[in-house]
A and B are shown apart, each in its own frame.
Chain A
Amino acid sequence: MQKASRTVLVKSSHLLEKTSSLIASTRSSAHQFSKRFYATSCISSPNKPCYPGAVNATFTHQLEFRSSINPDGTPFPIFNIMSNDGEIVNEEAFKEIDYTPEQVVDLYKTMIRLETMDDILYNAQRQGRVSFYMTNYGEEALQVGSASALSPEDMIFAQYREAGVLMYRGFTLNEFLNQCFSTIEDYGKGRQMPVHYGSKKLNFQTISSPLGTQIPQAAGAGYVYRIQNSPHVCACYFGEGAASEGDFHAALNFASTLSCQTLFICRNNGFAISTPTRDQYHGDGIVARGIGYGMPSIRVDGNDLFAVYYATKRARQLSIESKGPVLIEFMTYRAGHHSTSDDASRYRSNEELMYWRNEQNPIIRVRKYLEKRQLWNDELEKTERDSNRKTVLSLLAKVEHAEKPHLDELVKDVFDSVPPILQQQREWTENVVKKYPEAFEGH
């Protein structure tokens, strides 16, 4: 195990090496793992350790307890490419980024479209026009950047703060709003709370509220890709709080032992509702755990669009070519309330929030980059934001009064067909509604 961990450490520190060498090292580490199960004989050298649980370990005569992945205790470094001022600080990695200038502009537009949608729907909830909402403030770069590094066919399992991933894939404002307002056009037929999006055509599994449940599911999906010999990965998003669930542990261990083509993408934004990370874990974040599961793992600046893209792209390639999982921990900051049911000012200061909203904003960082290259200016900014605003507001006016799903949808899809008992319950319900229609007006 030690030897394997070292291999992985070497890999993460030399991420910029050519892919071929990365793959070679992963293959050899996979080979070591498989050998582990068959290294049964130590009769010839009884003084060499050969415990089946850690066959490659050596004996030590030094009594040393370790609590960190790195013996010197330093935390995992954060991989970055672009500084907070929009300056490229990692030219070598930047050269590998194959975005065209137009693509960067498009990604920027997606980020501000997401921000505009968040602004308007957040306020719509405050006005009681939609029952619930969760914004994506501060995490826009990690969402669109990672999405842009995936293939459109890669299956995605998400938590709930990944609307930007879906937006990048082509989920329209119309589709977002229809879900939030439970209209007849909502694919989910108005059954789930707002922001629980899903899209079959965009390979985005429908979101559910229970935290962490999607993580082992993504391992299963990544397993299917591996046994199909498929050039795809399953990308799984989750927050650092969800990583405390038992399902996280199960998932990473399964993905590692069963060689699943799964990208585990952690959004470490510092808070799980009110709980700061110091109350969430005592180790070196989430990235350190990946090492413990024998998985290539990396920590990346989640507010740096380029670092997010490059790390995700390489991780995807590594996962497919090594036929195994990879963990990415994106460091970011939840620059909004947890949800519309939360007031973050009760557990953190407004100054802190404003610092992250204004000084360490991933959208502003990209804007600075674009402006330095004359790819963006105030006028374009105003036109784009106004047009988004108009679109969202007009859609909002439309979906608020849109037709709701038919009552039949109450009993459909529980099973593939409606069982007789459920059909009876539906008819009984309808009879009561017909008798007392005024009691059921509105939704």
Chain B
Amino acid sequence: MRSTSSMLSRFSRQSHALLASKTNSLAPFLTSSSSYFSTCMVSKTKPALEENIYQLDDQKIDVNKYKNFKYELVYHHNENEIKVTESNSTELNLCNSINMALKQAMERDPKALVFGEDVAFGGVFRCTVDLKEQFGRDRVFNTPLSEQGIVGFAIGVAAMGHTAIAEIQFADYIFPAFDQIVNEAAKYRFRSGNLFDVGGLTIRTPSSAVGHGGHYHSQSPEAYFAHTPGLKVVIPRNPLQAKGLLLSSIEDPNPVIFFEPKILYRSSQCLVPNEAYKIPLEKAEILKEGKDVTVIGWGSQLYVLEKAVEMAKEVGIDCELIDLRTIVPWDIETVVNSVKKTGRCVVSHEAPLTGGFGSEIAATVQEKCFLHLESPVVRVCGLDTPFPLVHEKYYIPGVVKCFEMIKNAVNY
């Protein structure tokens, strides 16, 4: 069930460049045709509604340009949400911003505890570095190796009115705690008639693809939890978002699962305000406004989508890009308003297609935007297979797959 220690240290020490190049090179043979992966095909015979604007299929795009991208979002934050200046901020990667958020949460809340497997020495991804030294071993500590124990213990801590910030080493290993999360944490307030709650509980866990994580260091299990009333599920896309959303998650009076896309730990960098700040949960963010198609994603998939949106721009498609940020309860209003404007919708996530959260979005969009839709809602997702090792680049909904499906949605 666990990776070897050498694998752990490889994840935590690998350089930014290596991670970036390993994960995101896309297979050249995927560039010309979508027929190879026809998971959610739309007809290409119909002309676009707006005549003569999109003659897409004949255009040749230089895919190599999009192959190796840095984990830097062009649209990395919304100025209206947080003011970031050189003087009030520091350039941080994602694990450092998580670390800063944890420190500030613990400073603000003397009842906050941080625990999990290997967190005392700083964590296998270095997110809890120096916390034990600063706050003492009673507040920052290792637990025995048992995920059901970690979450059960955390629920008990939270039920006593303390703030429990539990870490599950990889999201792939959250399943032993599924019972505690789904049957206990999520239902604690409801079943007791609000006599007791575990609102002080936050579960942090590294998730998503990392280039070579295979079955058990790559999963994106958000959809399993999205089917559970009583939980909030949050996924940040960069260090700035991670800090604000994590601080909100910790302070939120409900149990929250906070998935941290592990590929971003060292690769994504941006200016992060030094002061503690919060970014609201349940609020999607429009990263880029556009008029032709709404493109929705979360976490590290936004870096892929941003490149796909750039490719689409080359062929004249103006995408509106949305970061959902909170998976549940999700911001239906922002998404629906956007799709009503653009008339088209593409959702993309790394997790498998069937039963993925994209299905929930697609169903809701078709229900609420039926008369506005110009083409079927498209889902670009992982395949319905376990997460593979050697075929990762074929499995993931990479830049070219996303581009192809955006193009199809518009060219329907």
In this assembly, does A223 line the interface, its C-beta being within 8 Å of a C-beta of chain B?
yes
How far apart sit A439 and B253, CA to CA, in the bound complex (Å)? 37
Q: A198-B196, A250-B146 are in contact. Are A219 and B189 (CB under 8 A)?
A: no
How far apart sit A185 and B162, CA to CA, in the bound complex (Å)? 29
Pick from B141, B152, B162, B190: contact of A258, CB under 8 Å = B141
In this assembly, does A251 line the interface, its C-beta being within 8 Å of a C-beta of chain B?
yes
Across the interface, do B149 and A250 meet the contact criterion of CB distance under 8 Å?
Answer: yes
Across the interface, do A247 and B152 meet the contact criterion of CB distance under 8 Å?
Answer: yes
Across the interface, do A213 and B197 meet the contact criterion of CB distance under 8 Å?
Answer: no
How far apart sit A199 and B149, CA to CA, in the bound complex (Å)? 25
* Residues on the A chain within 8 Å of B197, using CB: 416
Q: Contacting chain A: which of B7-15, B99-107, B177-185, B374-382?
A: B177-185
- Shortest C-beta distance, B145 to chain A (Å), equals 9
Across the interface, do A257 and B144 meet the contact criterion of CB distance under 8 Å?
Answer: yes
How far apart sit A216 and B193, CA to CA, in the bound complex (Å)? 22
* Residues on the A chain within 8 Å of B151, using CB: 216
- Shortest C-beta distance, A247 to chain B (Å), equals 6
How far apart sit A258 and B120, CA to CA, in the bound complex (Å)? 13
Q: Which 4 A-B pairs have the closest CB atoms?
A: A220-B156, A216-B152, A250-B149, A217-B156
Q: A206-B191, A216-B153 are in contact. Are A254 and B146 (CB under 8 A)?
A: yes
Q: A217-B159, A247-B152 are in contact. Are A420 and B332 (CB under 8 A)?
A: yes
How far apart sit A71 and B141, CA to CA, in the bound complex (Å)? 36
Chain B proximity mask over A194-218: 1 for CB below 8 Å, otherwise 0? 0010111000011010100101111
Q: A258-B141, A415-B254, A419-B329 are in contact. Are A208 and B184 (CB under 8 A)?
A: yes
Query: Smallest CB-CB separation from A220: which chain B residue?
Result: B156
Q: A219-B153, A421-B329 are in contact. Are A206 and B192 (CB under 8 A)?
A: yes
Across the interface, do B191 and A208 meet the contact criterion of CB distance under 8 Å?
Answer: yes
- Shortest C-beta distance, A179 to chain B (Å), equals 10
Across the interface, do B149 and A251 meet the contact criterion of CB distance under 8 Å?
Answer: yes
* Residues on the B chain within 8 Å of A189, using CB: 193
* Residues on the B chain within 8 Å of A215, using CB: 152
* Residues on the B chain within 8 Å of A253, using CB: 144, 146, 149
Interface on A for B, CB 8 Å cutoff?
A: 155, 157, 186-189, 191-192, 196, 198-200, 205-206, 208, 210, 213, 215-224, 227, 234, 246-247, 249-251, 253-254, 257-258, 409, 412-416, 419-422
Across the interface, do B157 and A224 meet the contact criterion of CB distance under 8 Å?
Answer: yes
How far apart sit A25 and B159, CA to CA, in the bound complex (Å)? 32
In this assembly, does B1 line the interface, its C-beta being within 8 Å of a C-beta of chain A?
no
Across the interface, do A414 and B146 meet the contact criterion of CB distance under 8 Å?
Answer: no
* Residues on the B chain within 8 Å of A224, using CB: 156-157, 160, 162
Across the interface, do A205 and B159 meet the contact criterion of CB distance under 8 Å?
Answer: yes
In this assembly, does B278 line the interface, its C-beta being within 8 Å of a C-beta of chain A?
no
In this assembly, does B199 line the interface, its C-beta being within 8 Å of a C-beta of chain A?
yes
* Residues on the B chain within 8 Å of A186, using CB: 193
Q: Which of A247, A249, A412 has the most CB of B within 10 A?
A: A247
Across the interface, do B189 and A414 meet the contact criterion of CB distance under 8 Å?
Answer: yes
* Residues on the B chain within 8 Å of A219, using CB: 149, 152-153, 156
Across the interface, do A157 and B156 meet the contact criterion of CB distance under 8 Å?
Answer: yes
How far apart sit A415 and B194, CA to CA, in the bound complex (Å)? 10
Task: Give 5 CB contacts A-B under 8 Å.
Answer: A198-B192, A200-B196, A223-B157, A249-B146, A415-B230
Q: Which of A223, A420, A422 has the most CB of B within 10 A?
A: A223
